[in-house]
Structure 1
Amino acid sequence: MDKSKIGRRFEGKVAIVTASTQGIGFSIAHRLGLEGASVVISSRRQKNVDDAVKKLKEEGIEVFGLVCHVSNAQQRKNLIDQTVQKYGKIDVVVSNAAANPSVETILQTKESALDKLWEINVKTSILLLQDASPHLAEGSSIVFISSISAFQPPAGLAMYGVTKTALLGLTKALANELAPRTRVNCVAPGFVPTHFASYITNNEAIRKSLEEKTPLKRLGTTEDMAAATAFLASDDASYITGETIVVAGGTPSRL
């Protein structure tokens, strides 16, 4: 990525990105930070937070790192409280945390796995915003990270895909509820080689098959997802709310 071509759309703004010490979340925090935001990153493990903070600070980014397991109510509240205490406001929230504890068919998925899928992928996104909403600045922006699987949940990712479909509806509903003060949008990534998706993207045959089915003939990058998220969160998208941008190289997406 040529940093000289990156603008400074987030000067003076404060952005929280959940699950942001690696993969797509880290790239989003990195991009927002390069564009001038004070970024608040979080992860379940202190070491991951410390490592990510170090990397971002080395690039001159203003960053604050906290441990936050999104299913932990006290840690969610602490994430918001500490951010407001340090920076005084919140301009951007990127809800990126997700889990996929099962590759079973939907009707074979254990109740405990169903509970975790709904809790991490949908419920905690709402609960975090309940804590954050009193502190959202005028002209603030929320971006949910969904998935191409939201449009046609594939075998092995079916229930995960259904929870990501729910985020598309949540985007629409909250866009109405929070307008005109706050915009709410969504990014639906295609297949991206990250640790989270490694069981797919590390399989050479599956990887080549995915690339062949994609019109642009490649998998996405975390930087691709960060660029789309930064656009939606920025004032360049000031007349866009309630929308989902699919960033999947042309992979068909239709409900």
Structure 2
Amino acid sequence: MRKNILLIGGSYGIGHEVAQQMSMQHNVYIASRTNENLMGANIQHLPFDVLSDDVSELNLPETIDGFVFCPGSINLKPLKMLNLDAFRQDMELNFFALVNAVKSILPKMSEGSSMVFFSTVAVNTGMPFHTSVSSAKGAIEGFAKSLAAEYAPKIRVNTIAPSLIDTPLAKRLLNNDKKKEMMAGRHPLKRVGNVKDIANMVTFLLNPENSWISGQVIQIDGGMSSLNVN
């Protein structure tokens, strides 16, 4: 039976790969600002700006079986170069926009449905220059666990905490071979992640066959958070 999957964001990067995988068997709705990369007979694009629009106003089906929130930021600066507005902006995009979307979509979530959010390896593993984004992503982890407890057993909620992934969002950090080699060398598995590394886990968590997993923060980070091989 085809399920209805809603992605906030998904025109590129991890969300785009999730949409391609899920659309093979399910109906995928992508709410995002752009749709130039979207392909697939079972993918429907809905114009949406996560910072100004309301999910409740989207033309969605009566029930949603899977929900993925993709927007995020990589704002890496020393604390002394970050003002409060920078922290507010990261919180607005990463956390408050997520909360608004979840509150809007909850009435449509079906029995046994699944939500997937994104954190970062830097929450569990302290890293310099990550104070702002780690604060916002840490809020997501706490929110997701509490939400999973509050809505069990109807809705499963899990969070993926990746390390650096080769996406347009990370272009500034991977825009030449030297940077790519340096970033790869920081990981025990000696490579930077790709979109399939993360999308494969998202589709796994959305699959009702894997329905005994909730409230987890799953580290997909090339071993960075748990291995010391240097």
User: Greater CA deviation, 240-249 or 145-154?
Assistant: 145-154
Match of 1:116 in 2: 89
Aligned to 1:8: none
Q: Is 2:216 the partner of 1:243? A: yes
Q: Which residue of 2 aligns with 1:43?
A: 32
Aligned to 2:168, what secondary structure does the other structure show?
A: coil
Identity %: 26
Residue of 146, 151, 154 corresponding to 1:181: 154
RMSD, matched Cα: 1.8
Pairwise CA distance, 1:107: 4.4
**Helix, strand or coil at the partner of 2:91:** helix
**1:153: how far off?**
4.5
- Matched with 2:67 is 93
User: What do residues 35-72 of structure 1 show as CA deviations (whole Å, max 9, x unaligned)?
Assistant: x110111222xxx31x233xx22xxx401101111111
The alignment partner of 2:2 has SS state of coil
Instruction: Say if 1:151 and 1:253, in contact at 8 Å, map to a contact too.
Output: no
> What is the rounded CA distance, in whole Å, between the counterparts of 1:104 and 1:212 in structure 2?
21
Alignment of 1:3-82 (within 5 A): 11-34=1-24, 36-44=25-33, 48-49=34-35, 51-53=36-38, 56-57=39-40, 61-74=41-54, 76-79=55-58, 82=59
1:83 aligns with 2:60: yes
Deviation digits for residues 110-166 of structure 1, max 9, x if unmatched?
222221111110111111011100010110000001121222353333311221122
- Runs of at least 5 residues in structure 1 that lack an aligned partner in the other structure: 1-10
User: 2-side partners of 1:213 and 1:65: how far apart?
Assistant: 37
- Which has a greater percent of helix? 1
Match of 1:3 in 2: none
Q: Structure 1 length as normaliser, TM-score? A: 0.83
In structure 2, relative to structure 1, the CA distance for the partners of 1:162 and 1:204 (3 Å cut) is: farther
**8 Å contact 2:163–2:221 — kept in the other structure?**
yes
Residue identity opposite 2:70 in structure 1? N
1:162-197 CA-to-partner distances (Å, cap 9, x unmatched) read: 211221111211100111100000111221111101
SS of the residue 1:230 aligns to: helix
How many residues matched?
A: 227
Per mean C-alpha deviation after superposition, the further-off stretch among 108-117 and 89-98 is: 108-117
The gaps in structure 2 that reach 5 residues or longer are none
Q: Is the 8 A contact 2:86 2:132 kept in 1?
A: no
Report SS of the residue matched to 2:160: strand
TM-score by length of 2: 0.91
- In the alignment, is the contact (CA less than 8 A) between 2:113 and 2:208 conserved in 1? no
